[in-house]
Amino acid sequence: MSGRVWVGTSNRGFAQQAQEELKRLLGPAVRFGWLAPGETFWFQSPLNREETIAAIQRQEPIFLRHLFPADAEKEWTGTSEEAIGAVCGLIEQERAALGLGSSIAVQIRKPEGESQLPAPSSLKAELDVLLEQEYGLRPVVRESDWILSVYMTRGRLYAGITRPEQNISDWSGGAVRFRKEEGQVSRAKFKLLEAELAFGLDFHSYRQALDIGAAPGGWTSLLLERGLAVTAVDPAKLDPSLLGHPRLTYLAKKADEVKFEPGKFDLLVCDMSWSHRQMAKLVLQLAEALQSGGTAIITVKLMHKKAFQSIREVEEDLSGAFTLQKAKQLFHNRDELTLFFLKS
């Protein structure tokens, strides 16, 4: 498979940062153009397909949420027949590599609000039937052998076939979706769920967690579900559904008013809407309470035009006590990103 034009996606408003990362990884000769301004773009890599994938996998970008190679790129008038024809041509070309009976996830997107193009859901349904009946492939939604990615604009259609790990995220466009549960405390829970996936963590493996700025308790609720004992610190009230939980200790105080015995916790989480440097100062004050090698998951609020500076400043502020493992702007982040540290 070959292709030097790619489709990249970031969180809305952070495409410029994603493009800057690609320049650093692939070289200044990389070229860009908009597909959905501020969020989705095409880029032309100066490297070949394998070299581009390798460069991005070596140092996963913080702000680039998803990408795929345009193995097929077609001018079109926007009909389903044209889209299916382009995809079939690509499948025929790669049929031997795909292998009979392999599972494939079809992921189709278009710019938000674009009503003159086929509905992705109906086009996906047609392609699923075709891939199974004509090519002997097995359409699935998750955990596939291959991903067929399609991005539609009014004048152009892009399609590519990849292994899931080559797209950064195996979710369509990197949009990680969780089902809202009855009685869910807050949507902030989705951020911690996504962080668990993005950082390769298993919260079941931890025992004692400290949640700074916990209210109303979205992150606390998830950690309790995972079986941890949680100490939640916040002067604001926790959701009533959490109060009285046998593994919850709730301290209605500010984070700078509490102190714990050294090494009491093996997990520290913090999702506060304070400035990034204030947040780092608070976390540093409580660092002694986290055991050596313990995990810290921290949300950092970003200054739009100084996003990389914000990351550097937090890393520097915490460098005496913590080592940064990974930084990622998750789908459920907005004007922020999430950092994964280990206690030094």
Residue with tokens 């400043």: 313
> What predicted TM-score, i.e. pTM, was given to this entire model?
0.92
pLDDT tens series, the chain, 344 aa: 444 799 999 999 999 999 999 999 999 999 999 999 999 999 999 999 999 999 999 999 999 999 999 999 999 999 999 999 999 999 999 999 999 999 999 999 999 989 999 999 999 999 999 999 999 999 999 999 999 999 999 999 999 999 999 999 999 999 999 887 776 777 889 999 999 999 999 999 999 999 999 999 999 999 999 999 999 999 999 999 999 999 999 999 999 899 999 999 999 999 987 788 889 999 999 999 999 999 999 999 886 678 899 999 999 999 989 999 999 999 999 889 999 999 99
Out of 124, 301, 328, 343, pick the active-site residue.
301
pLDDT of residue 185: 74
Residue with tokens 């382009």: 86
Cβ neighbours of 188 (radius 10 Å): 20
Task: Tell me how far apart the alpha carbons of residues 105 and 247 are, in angstroms, rounded to a whole number.
Answer: 40
Task: Tell me how far apart the alpha carbons of residues 51 and 58 are, in angstroms, rounded to a whole number.
Answer: 10
Question: Are 199 and 80 part of one and the same domain?
Answer: no
Question: Are 194 and 129 part of one and the same domain?
Answer: no
Give long-range contacts, CB 8 A cutoff, 24+ apart: 234-240.
238/214, 239/185, 239/186
Domain extent at residue 223:
188-343
Examine the fold and report which residue of 110, 140, 174 is the final residue of a domain before the chain moves on: 174
Residue 189 catalytic? Answer: no
CATH code of the domain covering residue 202 = 3.40.50.150
pLDDT of residue 3: 46
| Local structure of 92: helix, strand or coil | helix
Overall number of domains in the chain: 2
Domain-embedded: residue 13? yes
CATH code of the domain covering residue 152 = 3.30.2130.30
Domain-embedded: residue 182? no
Domain-embedded: residue 157? yes
Question: Are 246 and 287 part of one and the same domain?
Answer: yes
Question: Are 265 and 310 part of one and the same domain?
Answer: yes
Examine the fold and report which residue of 174, 202, 231 is the final residue of a domain before the chain moves on: 174
Question: Are 15 and 76 part of one and the same domain?
Answer: yes
Task: Tell me how far apart the alpha carbons of residues 174 and 121 are, in angstroms, rounded to a whole number.
Answer: 17
Question: Are 132 and 254 part of one and the same domain?
Answer: no
CB burial string 136-158: b at 16+ within 10 A, e below: ebebeeeebbbbbbbbbbeeebb
Examine the fold and report which residue of 147, 174, 201 is the final residue of a domain before the chain moves on: 174
- Beta strand pairing status for 103-109 and 146-152? parallel
Question: Are 162 and 14 part of one and the same domain?
Answer: yes
Question: Are 153 and 286 part of one and the same domain?
Answer: no
Question: Are 122 and 215 part of one and the same domain?
Answer: no
